Amino acid sequence: MTILEGKNITKKFAGLTAVNKVDFKLEKGEILGLIGPNGAGKTTLVNVIAGVYAPTEGDIYFKDKKISGLKPYKIGRLGIARTFQIVRPFSGMTVKENASVGAMFGAQGKTRSAKEAIKKAEEILEFVGLGDQMNVKADQLNVASRKRLEIAKALAMGPEVILFDEVMAGLNFSEIDQAVELIKKIRNTGITILIIEHVMRAIKRVCDRIFVLHHGEKIADGAPEEVLNDENVIKAYLGRRYKELIK
């Protein structure tokens, strides 16, 4: 079943077309990778899905309901959460307090009391591996833990779909492997995932399908092995050295 779909998505900023006539589908329970060079339009597309920008043309549908043009908080209430490329926890607040904010503003946020939101936050922090750091100030966390907190804030919203924007950037190999396992664990709870990532070892291990943007246009869409061996993708993004490494 298609849970999230974009039809003819175009986003223009003055004279610049950042995303150009992009169609995509995200199937329920799937992990879909979104890759491409810097400036390809990946984060812009996620911002259109999340309601930060209204599309210049085209429409976004969530469970067959048109959501393009809705405010971000309304899209969050419907069941779509997202993380941000640059992690900025609420400064001066504890890890638990940060996650509690997500629990207050997500799909069940309208009906949760503050006490219930804190309980939900505690459960999510245990799930992502931050249970022993709940009372630490968020700005004291290292990069890997900040990334996990960003994921926790999104999970606390109780989403059906999460949009991950480079949650593995800045991590070492061991931390990347741990992040991959966490993303798989999240999918196993029934959450559908779209992930922007440059770390190909992670993309290959975690994604069911990949689509590729280049200059705002979709140039490939398919199984990881197929897409990562596509000549157009190698030329536009991966480079010949990558092709030699995967032989």
Neighbours of 242 (CB within 10 A): 14
Note whether 133 and 149 are within 8 A (CB). no
Phi, psi at 13, each rounded to 5°: -120, 105
pLDDT (0 to 100) of residue 247: 46
Residues comprising the chain, all counted = 247
pLDDT (0 to 100) of residue 106: 78
Neighbours of 237 (CB within 10 A): 22
List, by residue range, all CATH 3.40.50.300 domains of the chain. Answer: 1-79+162-172+192-247
Can you give the pLDDT of all 247 residues of the chain as single tens digits? 999 999 999 999 998 999 999 999 999 999 999 999 999 999 999 999 999 999 999 999 999 999 999 999 999 999 999 999 888 888 889 999 999 998 988 777 667 888 999 999 999 999 999 999 999 999 999 999 999 999 999 999 999 999 999 999 999 999 999 999 999 999 999 999 999 999 888 999 999 999 999 999 999 999 999 999 999 999 999 886 665 445 4
pLDDT (0 to 100) of residue 188: 97
Note whether 219 and 42 are within 8 A (CB). no
Longest dimension (CA), the chain: 55
Q: What is the CATH number of domain 1-79+162-172+192-247?
A: 3.40.50.300
| C-alpha Rg value of the chain to the nearest Å | 18
pLDDT (0 to 100) of residue 203: 92
Strands (E), 54-208: 57-62, 65-66, 80-82, 161-165, 192-196
Report residue 184 as tokens: 């798989």
Neighbours of 183 (CB within 10 A): 24
Report residue 158 as tokens: 């109780």
d(CA 206, CA 221): 16
pTM of the model: 0.93
Phi, psi at 63, each rounded to 5°: 50, 45
pLDDT (0 to 100) of residue 90: 87
Single out the residue of 11, 33, 31, 37 nearest to residue 22, CA to CA: 11
DSSP 3-state of 88 = coil
pLDDT (0 to 100) of residue 109: 67
